[in-house]
Amino acid sequence: MARRITWTKEAKRVYKEILKFYIERNGSKTYSIKLDKEITELISLLKQYPNIGKKTDYDDLQAIVKGDYKIYYKATGKEINIRLVWDCRQNSEDFKLEQ
Reported as a pLDDT band with limits 50, 70 and 90, residue 27 is very high
For residue 58, pLDDT beyond 90: no
Round to whole Å and give the CA distance between 49 and 99: 22
Cα 88 to Cα 3: distance, rounded to the nearest angstrom: 27
- Domains assigned to the chain: 4-87 (3.30.2310.20)
Q: Residue 89 has what pLDDT?
A: 80
Contact 61, 72 (CB under 8 A): yes
Taking residues 28-38, report their average pLDDT: 96
